[in-house]
Amino acid sequence: MSDQSTESTTSQIVNELYEISNSVERKKAKTVRHKDFVLPLSGVRLTSWTMLESEYKKDPCPFPVMARGLFTRKVDDKTYQVAVRGYDKFFNLGETKFTQWTWIEENTIGPYEVTSKENGCIIFISAVSENEVVVTSKHSMADPIDDQAHHAGVAYTWLLKHLDSAGRSISELSLWIHKHNVTMVAELCDDNFEQHVLEYPPETSGLYLHGINYNEIHLHTMPSDEVREIGREWGLRVAPFTVLPDVQSIKDVEASLRHEDEFENRQVEGVVIRCRTNAKLPFFFKIKNDTYNEWREWREITKAILSDKNYRCRFERSIYYAQWVKERLKDHPEWFSQYKHSKNITFIRDEFEKYWEAGNLLEIGDPCTGVTRG
């Protein structure tokens, strides 16, 4: 496709997004929202697009583009360009009709790239010129660029550290990104800033590069082996991956994740599968392991208890965890003082795991009856 044709398609889709965003009915439902950010160095204005998450699942999707993480730039009255490009929204195995094994077997082709799903905050690194890098979270930018209270600001600081470790500079990276017209997609994993579910101590903290997308309105992404080499060149951490030949091999990975919480000898949230449809279009789906899902449920239960809200227990141990948290709030309230600020999450979980392994559950009683040991 020619550059002129690409710009025409991009501009058409961006105009459609504006129409949806500005329509009275859709505006009320906040189906599509946009927000402008002005870059400090050049004064360039970028527009961030946020689509209502639940709408992505609809078939057909009501959006003209499936991007989750999209910043555009107005060139003139009729022309828009993509400045930052995340992945298309993708779903868990079994979550939609397109992520059922039968559909995957009949409609996708290999090779199947299996990438670790790191547990952090997604970060995009792009450039609007040869000398101005843009670092964003999914829908926002930091002001100033290194604001340590903002995900993008912390990510920018990490980016400088990674570049320094490789003997590279931010100006060199800006030049390279602008030349190739791409967005680096990374995961910010830094427990000192914000804990999620899995633990990232200082020696494993930083930016994990897991994708490089071309700044085009339709998803066009680099193979994982190229991403790995480029990430190493710029000093970034790189998400582990492997390449498998067929769907049966992916089923084997899924079966393994049911019993273990590791991939490539590392504890992970799960894995992302990258392949193509029969029409040669990119297709992603994800598989999460049950250990992560259980721990994530415990985090949400804790937040609900601290906010005096109702919660649901899908995993068998969760009801015991909830009772244990209520008891610890009585004798160790200091454990939870910063929980709402994403602190102490892994510590509290580990304390419960120790309690469980020690067989002390009778001390907190039957969570269904409230009867304790005499």
Give SS3 for 63. Answer: coil
Pinpoint the alpha helices (H) of 182-289.
Answer: 224-233, 247-259
Q: How many residues does the chain have?
A: 374
Pairing of strands 282-288, 91-92: parallel
Cα(170)–Cα(159) distance, rounded to whole angstroms? 8
Catalytic residue check, 117:
yes
Q: 174 burial class (0-12, 13-18, 19+ CB within 10 angstroms)?
A: buried
Residue type (1 letter), 71: F
In 3-state terms, the chain is what percent helix, strand and coil (to 5)?
40, 25, 35
Three-state secondary structure string covering 10-43: HHHHHHHHHHHHHCHHHHHHCCEEEEEEECCCCC
Half-sphere exposure of 233 (CA within 13 A, CB side): 9
205 touches 190 (CB < 8 A): yes
List strand residue ranges (DSSP E) for the chain, in order.
Answer: 32-38, 45-51, 70-74, 80-85, 91-92, 108-117, 121-129, 132-136, 182-189, 206-214, 237-238, 241-244, 262-263, 266-267, 270-277, 282-288
> CB neighbours of 230 closer than 8 A, spacing ≥ 6?
209, 212, 222
Which strand (E) or helix (H) includes residue 162?
A: helix 151-165
Distance CA 137, CA 122 (A): 6
Whether the Cβ atoms of residue 311 and residue 322 lie closer than 8 Å to each other? yes
Options 27, 28, 117, 309, the catalytic residue: 117
- Please list the active-site residues: 117
